[in-house]
Amino acid sequence: MIQVRKLYETETKAALALAMRVFMRFEAPDYSAQGVQTFRRTLEDTEFTSQIMMYGAFEEQVMVGMIATRMDGAHITLFFVEEAYQRRGIGRMLFAQVLTKLEGETMTVNASPFAVDIYKRLGFEPAMAEQCTRGIRYTPMRMTMPR
């Protein structure tokens, strides 16, 4: 059975390692060397990591997925599920958890090329064309909660 909960500070390092593993497998092939390095540096930036709220999905005591938000939950910054656990609803469970914490009506994400269709299935729509910043390719996307 999968349990989703807010991560303890002591679990942050494991969550970021999970994000890096999944990024390297699914996202890095679509990025330049600069983009991969930018992503790695972001995960190592303690100022960045101190400003995000992280949640994890656990099977038994093993973390199998993670999601992180900032701006009071209004922006998804990281969202990764281990390959062996993808397509089992774990991403939806993580997403449902952050929706319960959303204070406003709008949520945004800068979706990687790999994740655009995933976010569309969650209800996001592209807000702009694909962008590239410091080698990171992304499509700004937005979802407005129904009233």
CATH code: domain of residue 78: 3.40.630.30
CA–CA gap between residue 111 and residue 133 (Å, rounded): 13
Residue 147 has pLDDT above 70, yes or no: no
Report yes or no on whether pTM surpasses 0.85. Answer: yes
Question: Is 135 part of any domain?
Answer: no
Q: Point out the least confidently predicted range of 3-7, 72-76, 120-124.
A: 72-76
Query: Mean pLDDT over all residues of the chain?
Result: 92
Residue 27 has pLDDT above 90, yes or no: no
Structural tokens at position 137:
């390719």
Range of the domain at 17: 2-103
Q: What is the dihedral of CA 12, 86, 120, 66, to 10 degrees?
A: -10
> Stretch 1-25: mean pLDDT, rounded?
94
141 contacts 108 by C-beta, under 8 angstroms: yes
Residue 129 burial (C-beta neighbours within 10 Å; 0-12, 13-18, 19+): exposed
Q: Of 94, 45, 52, 41, which Cα lies nearest the Cα of 74?
A: 52
Residue 7: pLDDT band by 50, 70, 90 thresholds? very high
pLDDT for 35 equals: 92
Question: Is 145 part of any domain?
Answer: no
CA–CA gap between residue 106 and residue 121 (Å, rounded): 16
SS3 of the chain: helix, strand, coil, percent, to 5: 45, 35, 25
Q: Of 131, 132, 128, 133, which Cα lies nearest the Cα of 141?
A: 128
Residue 146 has pLDDT above 80, yes or no: no
The model's pLDDT over 99-128, given as tens digits with 9 standing for 90+, comes to 988 888 899 999 998 899 999 999 999 999
Question: Is 129 part of any domain?
Answer: no
Domain count along the chain: 1
Question: Is 127 part of any domain?
Answer: no
> Stretch 64-93: mean pLDDT, rounded?
92
The model's pLDDT over 39-55, given as tens digits with 9 standing for 90+, comes to 999 999 999 988 999 99
